[in-house]
Amino acid sequence: MNLRIVGIGGSVDPGSQSGAALRSVLAAAQRLGASTTVFTGPDIAFPPYFTGAQLPPAARDLIESVRRADGVVIASPGYHGTISGVVKNALDYLEELRDDARPYLDGRAVGLVAVARGWQATVDTLVTLRQVTHALRGWPTPYGVTINSSMTHFDDDLTEDDGARDSLELVAAQVVSFARKMGTGSDDGR
């Protein structure tokens, strides 16, 4: 079964740690046999979404990829105690999926990763990501990842922090295993 996992998140900052953590989950999903696509950095710095907004081409790509996805991974930096505006705005564009047979993130496992410089913001950001995922009818995986970027550092998508690596691999495994159980993956060109 060909599973498609889409990653959304990170920040526009060079060396974005939440972007690195996101790519790390997707790399683990690939090792488990999934195909992955990532939307991160400047590629998700869309103009503010509103009903009837003109959709930038990159936003159209995001919407189409999520429409076909079997699983999703969302990673956000913690900004002032919650998810960043850029990540939330990118998720707001999924409003375009409201009339789909599988609206928004319906039927899809969603792995969540929160990265901030303090534990309080990592946890609050993870909780917010779960709330947004529920609002979008997605299924947050049982395990969610919190990474404290004052203690854990990524170069590209690699870190020497074994605990962080294990957590990111676990969330990848949960997304892939849920997507397999839901049986939505196929080669039919959806």
Ligand X SMILES: Cc1cc2nc3c(=O)[nH]c(=O)nc-3n(C[C@H](O)[C@H](O)[C@H](O)COP(=O)(O)O)c2cc1C
**Smallest Cα–Cα separation from 88: which of 98, 78, 101, 99?**
78
Sketch the per residue contact string, 103 through 132, with ligand X: x for CB under 6 A, - otherwise. Answer: ------------xxxx--x-----------
Q: Does 24 bind ligand X (CB under 6 A)?
A: no
The stretch near ligand X (CB under 6 A) out of 33-41, 78-86, 94-102, 166-174 is 78-86
Q: Write out the H or E segment, with its range, that includes residue 176.
A: helix 162-182
Q: Is the dihedral of CA 88, 182, 20, 67 positive or negative?
A: negative
> What is the nearest approach in angstroms of ligand X to the Cβ of residue 36?
19
Q: Does 156 bind ligand X (CB under 6 A)?
A: no
* Residues of span 80-99 touching ligand X by CB under 6 A: 80-81
**Smallest Cα–Cα separation from 126: which of 136, 138, 140, 112?**
112
Q: Does 19 bind ligand X (CB under 6 A)?
A: yes
Sketch the per residue contact string, 28 through 47, with ligand X: x for CB under 6 A, - otherwise. Answer: --------------------
Of the candidates 7, 10, 140, 185, which one interacts with ligand X according to CB under 6 A?
10
Q: Rounded to whole angstroms, how far apart are CA atoms 126 and 146?
A: 7
Q: Does 160 bind ligand X (CB under 6 A)?
A: no
**Smallest Cα–Cα separation from 131: which of 117, 110, 108, 148?**
110
The Cα-based distances of 72 to 48, 81, 156 in angstroms read 22, 23, 21
Q: Does 16 bind ligand X (CB under 6 A)?
A: yes
Q: Quick one: how far is CA 182 from the chain centroid?
A: 19
Binding site for ligand X (CB under 6 A): 10-11, 13, 16-19, 77-81, 115-118, 121, 149
